[in-house]
Amino acid sequence: MQRAIYAGSFDPITLGHLDIIERGSVLFDELIILLMVNEEKNSLFSMEERKKMIEDSTHHLKNVRVEIGDGLTVEVAKSLDCRILLRGIRAVTDYEYELQLATANMTLEPEIETVFLVSKPYLSFLSSSTVKTIAKNHGDISMFVPENVKKILEDLFR
C-alpha cells in the first residue's frame, strides 16, 4: 500500500491545500493530512478546529484522513508506517525552502522520500496568511477557501 503524508499547519486550509490533497489522493492509496505543531507560527485556530475544517473539506475523499502530530515529521511518518512525504510548491521561494526540508528529512531518514506537486498557476499566490489578512479586512475569500472555512472566517471577523 502506498501511503503518503501531507504535513502542514493548515491555519486555515485553503483551496491551494485542497488541490494538493485531491491530486495526492489520486496518486496514493492513502493520504494522511498531518497537522503539525509549528511553534514559529502564531495560529488563529486550535489544532482541533483545524482538524475539523480539514475533515469537513475532504469528506468526499475516501482515502484521506487527518492526524495531529508533534515533533519531526519524519518521526511521525515512521510511526505511521509511511515512506512518502507529499509537499506542494507554489513558487521558486517555496522550492528553496522545501529543498532544505527534504534534504534534512532525507539525511535523518533515508528511506523516506519527498514528492513535490506544483501548484496550479491560479493558486500559486495563495497562502493561509493571505486568506487571514483578506478575511480580517472583510474582503471576499470565496475564491480562496472551501465554503465551510469561508463561513468560519466570516463569522470570526464579523
What is the tens place of the pLDDT at every residue in 13-60? Answer: 999 999 999 999 999 999 999 999 877 778 999 999 999 999 999 999
For residue 124, what pLDDT is reported?
A: 92
Give me the CATH number covering residue 88. Answer: 3.40.50.620
Rg (the chain; Cα; Å): 15
For residue 41, what pLDDT is reported?
A: 77
Reported as a pLDDT band with limits 50, 70 and 90, residue 94 is confident
pLDDT for 92 beyond 90: no
Q: Provide the 10 A C-beta neighbour count for residue 8.
A: 19
Amino acid at 10: F
**C-alpha–C-alpha distance, residues 148 and 13, integer Å:** 10
8 A C-beta contact, residue 77 and residue 112: yes
For residue 27, what pLDDT is reported?
A: 97
For residue 91, what pLDDT is reported?
A: 86
Reported as a pLDDT band with limits 50, 70 and 90, residue 82 is very high
For residue 158, what pLDDT is reported?
A: 87
For residue 78, what pLDDT is reported?
A: 96
pLDDT for 69 beyond 90: yes
Reported as a pLDDT band with limits 50, 70 and 90, residue 111 is very high
Average pLDDT over residues 72-98: 94
Range of the domain at 128: 3-156
Average pLDDT, the chain: 95
How many structural domains comprise the chain? 1
Active site residues: 17, 41, 90, 128
